[in-house]
Amino acid sequence: MKKRIFSGLIAACMVLTVLSGCASSGTEGDTLVLKAGFSTGASDPRVVATQLFKEEVEKATDGRITVEIHTDGELGSDSELISGVVNGEIDLTASSAGNFASYAPNVGLSAFPFLFDDFEDAWKFVDSDVETKAEEELTEVNVKVLGHYDNGFRCVTTSEAAGPVESVSDMDDLKIRTPENQIVMQTMLALGAEPEVLGFAELYDALKNGTFDAQENPIPVIYNNNLYEVQANLAITNHSYDVMLFVIREDVWDSLSESDQKILLGAAALAQEKDRQLIKEQTEDYIQKLEEAGMNVTYPDLDEFKGATSSVVDSFAGSYDPELLAAIR
């Protein structure tokens, strides 16, 4: 009899061990390392903001969940970082919304030329349900949006040889590097330039060796990644607002307990605020720094640029949800 009770106890313990093993996945107690990758340097606001996200998450979980930050394209270019999240090699990244368009065509519509007058105008849109609707398709490709960082308003820089951009005619035949963003490329084509895609981590050297005459990026990116060392002129075009999606692998997100999900969302909200504050400040302060670093800054007539790019939205009529396009118009 004793033997039967003893073997019953053993069996019961084995069942409990198996159950607690299954039940524990995704609840309190699991340690987790989240690998985060970025195409830019550590001083870029998206990385500074994610550093705050890291600190908040590690503090709130007593180090049970940790975040590993990799910068300068170490884990790949923007499109490789995004595909890394999609196929589960990378857990977190932040990249311009337009870089996600190949997975979710409606995402990135906030990049249409001259859509917003200032940051408050842009943040109102990005935090609206129109943007949420545009991002819905991302969940089908394993991408969960944790927050909206800000890259700023994109401006054109050119080499000494290409000369400054004072008007649209100075954009004619300009060999300009762009990210893999169809709206930005169409905007450059509408201005008469010749856009070509290149990963951001290779951009500095490509400008240095003259592969491109020009590139376009927001003021903070130009300064924080030292592009003023290889570009002589900056034209304040603000031609495209560049929202960034701060994203996590959906499968990892789904495996988290509700309380851990709340911790990540709270940390992402603080990071988003930090990023936006830095980008706004740097956009206002860094033009002077770029002039002090030797860049020749011009302020072209933006009405001419707006006129030349007013047809860009129409060229995407077929590839965006008509309701979303109507909201944009």
By CB under 6 A, name the binding residues for ligand EAX: 39-40, 78, 95-96, 151, 179, 200, 217, 221
Q: Which is nearer to ligand EAX, 78 or 170 (CB)?
A: 78
Nearer to ligand EAX, 236 or 327 (CB): 236
Given a contact cutoff of 8 angstroms between Cβ atoms, the answer to whether 104 and 135 are in contact is: yes
Distances (CA, A) of 167 to 92, 183, 302, 303: 40, 21, 9, 10
The angle subtended at Cα 234 by Cα 275 and Cα 227, nearest 5°, is: 60
In the bound state with ligand EAX, the residue whose beta carbon lies nearer, of 78 and 250, is 78
Name which of 200 and 223 has its Cβ closer to ligand EAX. 200
Q: Which is nearer to ligand EAX, 65 or 82 (CB)?
A: 82
What is the smallest separation between the CB atom of 262 and ligand EAX, expressed in angstroms? 29
Tokens of 52: 């705050």
Nearest approach in angstroms of CB 271 to ligand EAX is 16
Please state the closest distance from residue 18 (CB atom) to ligand EAX, in A: 46
Shortest distance, CB of residue 196 to ligand EAX, whole angstroms?
Answer: 12
- Nearby residues of 116 by Cβ (< 8 Å), 6 or more positions away: 110, 122, 125, 241
Do the beta carbons of residue 101 and residue 242 sit within 8 Å?
no
Nearer to ligand EAX, 74 or 301 (CB): 74
Q: How far is the CB of 88 from ligand EAX (least distance, A)?
A: 22
We find the least distance from the C-beta atom of residue 82 to ligand EAX, in angstroms, to be 11
Distances (CA, A) of 295 to 172, 218, 279, 282: 21, 15, 20, 16
Taking the complex as a whole, the smallest distance from the CB of residue 181 to ligand EAX amounts, in Å, to: 8
Distance of CA 285 to the CA centre of its chain: 22
35: nearest Cα among 79, 71, 78, 63? 71
Asked if residues 156 and 165 have their Cβ atoms less than 8 Å apart, the reply is: yes
Measured CA to CA, the distance from residue 83 to residue 168 in angstroms comes to: 35
- Minimum CB distance to ligand EAX smaller for 225 or for 233: 225
Sequence letter at residue 234: L
